[in-house]
Structure 1
Amino acid sequence: MGLRGTRGVAARSAIEGMRELAGAGLTTPEVFRRADELLRPVLEFDAVCWHTADPATGLVNSVQSEDLSLAAFEQAVRLEVWADDLATFPKIRRSGVQAETLSRATKGRLQESVRYREQVAPAGFGDELRAVFDAAGGMWGCAAFLRVPDRGPYLGRQREVADAAARHLGNALRACHVPSGAPDAVDPGPAVLVLDRHNRLQALSGPAEELLVRLADPTPTSLTVPTSVAMAAEHARRAAHGLTVPQTPVRVRTRDDRWYLLHGSTLRGGGAADTVTVVASPASPAELMPLHLAAYGLTAREQEVALLLVRGSDTRDVSRVLAMTPYTVQDHLKSVFGKTGVGSRQELIARIMLGGGRC
């Protein structure tokens, strides 16, 4: 990266600290706070907004910030879903890098960004650096780093540091999702929420009230529902307008380590324009298996082998289906056992079928 001098030493130290986060046994909020401590002196930002995401879809499902007032967060959600802007989280993922600055994406013409005009500048900030935290084929989170105009645009070396750090942060967040045991209590079942066009809660089923508490964002926002519910609603509206949306449903984890699937659908007729119903259903072990396999850091091929084994295939079946020799299957299986910390196929099945996590 060409990091030289005192600043280069500080950057390398920050990146090494980020690398160590994956094995520190931290919760998600703790990972974000530690990352803030490591990166703020190097990136020289004045505020940061951290997000977790559904690893499969990449959709933001929570927000955490100790710097920003989120009194107009509903506008941020709308811009994130509807604005065809520069340097959005999905576009950064598709670009092949993990960090991008608004100044670089606009070639110094920040006013070309609708996000800058309607959100960043009115809040008193100048350049924005965004990073996505990918690991093991999934996006586990993302962040927006903001700096006041007097600091000028982010430097190229700072974007490079953020890019390198983002890869380690992805591994740290992935490690937070390793299952540690199924919750003891019985899930109350599906919950139903009805939201108006401004994502204000209009009606809800009995279990939904309790679920809203468990899905609450680490940082309070102007929304009357958690970020995950608002995002599911906005994407349902996009789909109703015939626009492209990520695969659904959205997966989200509650504060007590349960996973839910959020399905949004628009209502029609009776003056219900843009009214959305969001159904939150407990995720089944089968629906969570791919996430758990990714959380252990298995490669794509190792995940294929493990899924077939969990579903009852033997070595010969796996060899035939995946067109590999039995010896190669055994090599992959040995790696799977090592990463998941088990010693047999039976233990692997039990481990992968467990729910819960540490974050």
Structure 2
Amino acid sequence: MTSQRDQQRRALADLRDLTQQPLTAPQIFRGADEVLREALGYDGVCWHGTDPASGLVTSVLTDDLRLEDFRQAMELEIWTDDVAQFTDIRRSGHRADTLSRATNGRPGLSRRFREQIAPAGFGDELRVLFDTAGGYWGCAAFMRAPDRGAYRPGQLALAQRAARILGTALRRSQLPLADVPFAPQPPAVLLLGADNRVTHADEQAERLLGEFADDANGVFTVPTAFVMAAEAARGAKAGGRVPPPLRVRTGSGAWFVLNTSVLGGPGDPSVAVVITAASTADVMPVVFASYGLTAREREVALKVLRGHDTREIARALCMTTLTVQDHLKSVFTKAGVRSRRDFVAQLVASQNPEVWD
């Protein structure tokens, strides 16, 4: 009889094998589902792609859960101060948590559990973040039926280890970024009403909506990224904050940035969404994270992109030239190039040429 430990070892080995293949994010999620469903013991899962820089959800993929319930899940995540939310798990420095653990065995303390998880017929929730190398590559929520009991510590530990493997795979799926040509185009604009349905859109915006389409279109009539951007904008305005830009990638691999503004008052929370093609500066945080550069390596890489030589970098960053050279060697190795010229060409030749100041 196979022990739980053997089952978990096999699951991790299978995940590693899976992630050695050149897969897209949806393919990674579906492959991971086949590996983890029995090992973690869940009955439903919802996978999400995210903006690697901000962590905001940009897509939804599920074969188990009602997409109609995702609207409520999103509103609870943004507007409710609850237990074991994705932002809480991230701040804790962990990659996974369960409602049962976070509430000391009393999941009913969670509003999310009372209003959504329990009514849907589930007894516990396991949330996992696929964060690695300074990037937020995705997240997932795993639900299990009440008769399975709460998630066990061993399963939570497995989820933590699986998250690291899947985060690395999702990071790699973003490469090679420089193969995606930059196509200059004017900004596109659309307006979303209080129900996040399009009230107005220019011709360019209507065309781009199809480029970002995902499973949630059937529920919201617009892709997940636009709904998340609008709700984040409303939440930011309510809290007196500036809404963050949201980076999102089309099916063809082109990056765009969604900037938002709440137009109306409390009774009319319409949101304008401006869609612009991502510049080099917009994409560079994702590029650096996808290569797995450390914070110091990113500083050195940015100086290289600005045309600084080794001595200038050493002086600006208060390090020796030998240390700079060590960082450069590591940067080039991670990026798969051999020289400064190759590195710069790989990053910016296909992107919007602009001044790095």
TM-score using structure 2 length: 0.93
Q: 1:77 corresponds to which letter in structure 2?
A: M
For 2:18 and 2:103, the matched residues in 1 are separated by 33
Deviations 1:195-220 (A, max 9, x none): 11111111111111111111111465
Asked whether 1:311 is paired with 2:284, we answer no
Q: Work out whether residues 216 and 222 of structure 2, in 8 Å CA contact, stay in contact via their aligned partners in 1.
A: no
* Counterpart AA for 1:276: V
State the SS of the aligned residue for 1:291: helix
Give the aligned partner of residue 96 of structure 1: 93
Q: Which of 131, 152, 174 is the aligned partner of 2:128?
A: 131
Call closer, same or farther: CA 1:19–1:75 in 2, change over 3 Å. Answer: same
Encode CA deviations 1:261-315: one digit per residue, 9 max, x unaligned. Answer: 111111136x961111111111012221221121011121111111110111110
The number of residues matched between the two structures is 351
User: In the alignment, residue 48 of structure 1 is paired with which amino acid?
Assistant: V
Asked if residue 35 in structure 1 is aligned to residue 44 in structure 2, the reply is no
Q: Give, as a single letter, the amino acid of the residue that structure 1 aligns with 2:83.
A: L
Runs (5+) with no aligned partner, structure 2 = 352-357
- Correspondence for 2:274: 279
**Could you list the per-position Cα deviations for residues 225-260 of structure 1 after superposition, in whole angstroms to 9, with x for gaps in the alignment?**
111111111111112212557x61111111111111
- Structure 1 segments unaligned to the other structure (5+ residues): none
The correspondence for 1:352, drawn from 347, 350, 353, is 347
Conservation of the 8 A alpha-carbon contact between 1:248 and 1:263: yes
TM-score if structure 1 supplies the norm length?
Answer: 0.93
State the Cα RMSD in Å: 2.0
Aligned partners of 1:65 and 1:219 also within 8 Å = no
2:320 aligned with 1:325, yes or no?
A: yes
Partner of 1:336: 331
Within 2, Cα distance between the matches of 1:212 and 1:67?
25
Give secondary structure in 1 for the equivalent of 2:48.
strand
- 2:169 aligned to which of 156, 167, 172: 172
Determine the C-alpha separation between the residues in 1 that align with 2:216 and 2:10.
Answer: 29
Structure 2 counterpart of 1:262: 258
Separation (CA, whole Å) in 1 of partners of 2:172 and 2:224: 23
Deviates most, 18-27 or 69-78: 18-27
User: Which of 17, 20, 26 is equivalent to 2:14?
Assistant: 17
Calculate percent identity across the aligned residue pairs. Answer: 51
Could you tell me which residue of structure 2 aligns to residue 297 of structure 1? 292
Deviation of the 1:86 alpha carbon? 0.5
Give, in whole Å, the separation in 2 of the partners of 1:113 and 1:58: 22
Greater alpha carbon shift after TM alignment, 107-116 vs 10-19 = 10-19
**1:151 aligned partner, one-letter code:** R
2:61 to 39, 64, 78: 64
Q: How does 1:200-239 map to 2 (within 5 A)?
A: 200-218=197-215, 220-239=217-236
Aligned counterparts, 1:126-205, within 5 A: 126-184=123-181, 186-205=183-202
| Cα pair distance change 1:334/1:39, threshold 3 Å | same
